[in-house]
Each structure stands twice: as structure tokens, then as C-alpha cells.
A and B are shown apart, each in its own frame.
Chain A
Amino acid sequence: MRDDADRWPAPSPADAMVLNGKAVSLRRVVPARQVLVSGERTAALTLVDLPRAAGWPEEAGDPPHALSLRRDRILVIDGPAMTAGWCADLGLAVSDVTCGLAVFEVTGPAAMTLLATGTEIALSEPSASVLRLWHGFEVMICRLAGDRFRIHTGAGRAEALWQTACAQARLLETPAP
């Protein structure tokens, strides 16, 4: 029977997850609502009353917005309240995962460089989906506008992703030799 409590530092509370730097700044944000809607794209967008679901590197803009995950799935942030479950008229499956995804905002002149530490990602290479594998984490990476980006990951991974992002951000603050 192992006790590893002393091996793991206590996790940071959400409101303490702030790192301000000259090259890149990070902070955790808590959207009011995050909902998965699966089914045909046009029907899904009609249900949530949004014009499009952003892929990469389209600017999603500030929420409310929808992110394109799969050919038949979107994630709606700060959209309207909806009934969870199967919506038979529209052929859509809805799940509220608001608390299930931790969200981080990445801003600053080196924001893209930070994103490019975890995977091959470039503004010049578009993708229809915001889903990525970043430093081994399953995430969604979207562009809000300009050099403001967001990373969404499972809530259970928030602590590890935060520590990883901070470690890489600190390395970026040190000027390249």
C-alpha cells in the first residue's frame, strides 16, 4: 500500500493559474457553458444559433462561438442553454461538458511559438478541426483573434497541462543563445 502524497505537489487553484510574461502570458478562464453537439453540421449550427464552427487558424472571436471538432461534432462555448440527450427532430446528440474542459488563454508575441512547442502547428497550415495532441495531451487549440489563443483540455489534466505550458513559457522568456 503506497502513499505518494508527498511526491505530488498540491494542485494550483484555478484562480492562481496566471503567468504574465513579456513573450507570452497564460491564464485559466472559466467559460459559462461548454456543450458538445454531434450530428449534421448545419442542423447543429441552427440549433445553437451560430453562423459557423471555427477550425484552424480561423478566428473564432470572443465567445459565444462554436469550434469544429469533427465532421459531425462541434463544441459550443457560452451558447444557449439546451436540453442534454438525443434530440430526435434534428438528429443531434447534446452533452453539457462545461466543467469537464479546462480552458487556458495564451496571448503575447510568442504565443504561436508556445503553441508550436507541443505539436506541429502553424498559421500557414489550416485544419478543419481544432483537436490536437499537444505535449501528449488531448486538447483543442483555437485562435480567438490576432495573437490570442485558447487551449481546452480535460479537467483532470488541467494541472499537468498548466505546469507544462508554464515550463515551456519560462524557457521562451529566456532569450535564445
Chain B
Amino acid sequence: MQRFTCPFCGLRDEREFSFAGESGKTRPDTAAEVSDADWSAYLFTGTNPRGRTDEIWVHTPCQEYFRMIRDTVTMEVLETVPLRRDPS
């Protein structure tokens, strides 16, 4: 059972966390023209790498969303990065 680090709450076990998507996805500006291909890629396409992966996770008790870089083969957690630019 893995343990992850919420940027605010600290180390907690994986039952308190939920995967929220791959990092780096930005919602296309729907006020402008968006091709169906770009829209589908935003919703559905992922790289799903073997090894180092860059993901968004949420710590469900406090609902903080954050970025976690981890290794899908070794299960190592490499880095935890808050989403906020300047966390208090």
C-alpha cells in the first residue's frame, strides 16, 4: 500500500488519494474554434508511460489537487509539486 505526500497534509496512505489525470492538460478555449481532434485529445488521449510519469492527484480528505511525478514500475514517488504558485 503506497504512501503519497499531500503538499499540505504530508504523508498519508494511498486510500486517501485519487488519480485526477495526466499533468499538462489545458482546456482548449471553447470561445474560439476547437477542432474535434484537439477536443478529443484533451479529453481522452494520454501518454501512459512505463516508468516516470507526471500526474495530477487529489488528496480526498482535504481536496487539494497537486502534481506527483512517480515511477509506474518501481512505485517510487519522485516528486510532489503543489499546484498553487505560492503555497502558504
Contact = CB atoms under 8 A, between A and B. Distances in A.
Given A69-B62, A70-B62, A133 B16 contact: yes
A143 B64 CA distance: 23
Interface of B: 3, 6, 8-13, 15-16, 60-64, 84, 87-88
Contact of B88 (A40, A69, A119, A131): A40
A138 B84 CA distance: 24
A129 B13 contact: no
Contacts of B16: 119, 132-133
Contacts of B10: 125-128
Contacts, number: 46
Given A69-B62, A132-B12, 11 more contacts: A40-B88, A70-B62, A70-B63, A72-B88, A120-B13, A125-B10, A127-B11, A128-B8, A128-B9, A129-B62, A133-B61
Nearest to A140: B61
Given A119-B13, A120-B12, A129 B88 contact: no
Q: When A and B form their complex, which 5 residue pairs have the shortest distance between CB atoms, in order from nearest?
A: A131-B61, A129-B9, A127-B10, A71-B8, A70-B62
A41 interface: yes
Given A71-B88, A119-B13, A127-B12, A132 B61 contact: yes
B61 A71 contact: no
Nearest to B17: A133
Contacts of B62: 69-70, 129, 131
Contacts of A127: 9-12
Contacts of A40: 88
Interface in A107-157: 119-120, 125-129, 131-133, 138
Given A40-B88, A41-B88, A129-B8, A70 B13 contact: no
